[in-house]
Amino acid sequence: MRHSIQAERRRVFQVEEIPVEVVWKSVRNMNLRLSTDGIMRASVPCRTTIAIAERFLAKNLLWMRSAIARSKKRGMPDMPEAVEGAPVRFFGCEYKLHIAEGRGIGLILFDGSAMLTVRRGSTAEAVSASLKDASRQLLQEAAATHFPYVETQTGLSASSWHIRDMKTRWGSCNVRTKRVCLNLRLVQKPLVCLDAVIAHELVHTKVSNHGRDFYALLNTVWPSWREAMELLELKDDRPVREFQ
């Protein structure tokens, strides 16, 4: 049976260890990029054969590997070290961490200082966990006002949202349940980033992939998302272009 290229609009290629989502569409050139959600994506002109697409991906294997490595290093900050005097970042501002023992866990941001209260006799591990808990609480409070704000602005809504510490994605959305997950590490970034990630995930309640419809809707409901993504330091989202 003759293989029909026209019928095949989307296909995932496994290039060594990297899955790449290839979409055939009316573009002039083959494009390859690492999406902000960590997925490698390529768009190729409608007439591109599978063999040509495979060759293009194989030729760019090293670029894909280094883009993934760079985005991991730069894009996703680690959670800060819970050590007295260490620099910590909340909502884009840097603070000096001060740790004191008290009755419960608390975090106060004041005049360049982040004052963390931990339970008496806490081990280093428990201090780390306390900083994480306090960070989660901060983001929870911010998202409690920002999430409904972005929902109102975009006219889109989720069924619920929650926070999780994730290593590769700033957010995710279950298209079926419309449940949105926000990365705990957003607590370190300016609030415009939180808004843009919320807007991005809310668009997924309507469009599951990152195709043209997705970006058309995102551009309409949240035009400033690109600037916010730059602040998220995902500089490796630049496409590689190649003329056929």
Q: Which positions lie near Zn ion, rule CB under 5 A?
A: 37
Least distance in Å: CB of 203 to Zn ion? 8
Write the Ramachandran bin of 67: left for phi over 0, alpha for psi from -120 to 50, otherwise beta. Answer: alpha
Rounded least distance, CB 37 to Zn ion, Å: 4
Cβ pair 191, 146 in contact under 8 A: yes
Q: Cβ neighbours of residue 127 under 8 Å, at least 6 residues apart?
A: 82, 99, 116, 118
- Minimum distance of Zn ion from residue 78's CB (angstroms): 22
- Joined tokens for residue 39: 């997925």
Cβ distance to Zn ion smaller for residue 127 or 197: 197
Residue nearest to Zn ion (CB): 37
Decide whether 21 or 37 has the Cβ nearer to Zn ion: 37
Residue 74's alpha-carbon distances to 17, 43, 70, 180, in angstroms, are 21, 25, 6, 24
**Closer by beta carbon to Zn ion, 117 or else 205:** 205
Q: Following DSSP, what letter does each residue of 126-151 receive, concatenated? A: HHHHHHHHHHHHHHHHHHHHHHHHHH
Residue in the block written with tokens 């023992």:
101
Select 37 or 233, whichever has its Cβ closest to Zn ion.
37
- For Zn ion, give the closer residue by CB, 56 or 170: 170
Structure tokens at 146: 């920002």
Beta-carbon contacts of 237 under 8 Å, excluding residues fewer than 6 positions away, are 33, 34, 35, 36, 71, 229
8 A C-beta contact, residue 139 and residue 162: no
- Considering the complex, state which of residue 15 and residue 207 has its C-beta at the smaller distance from Zn ion: 207
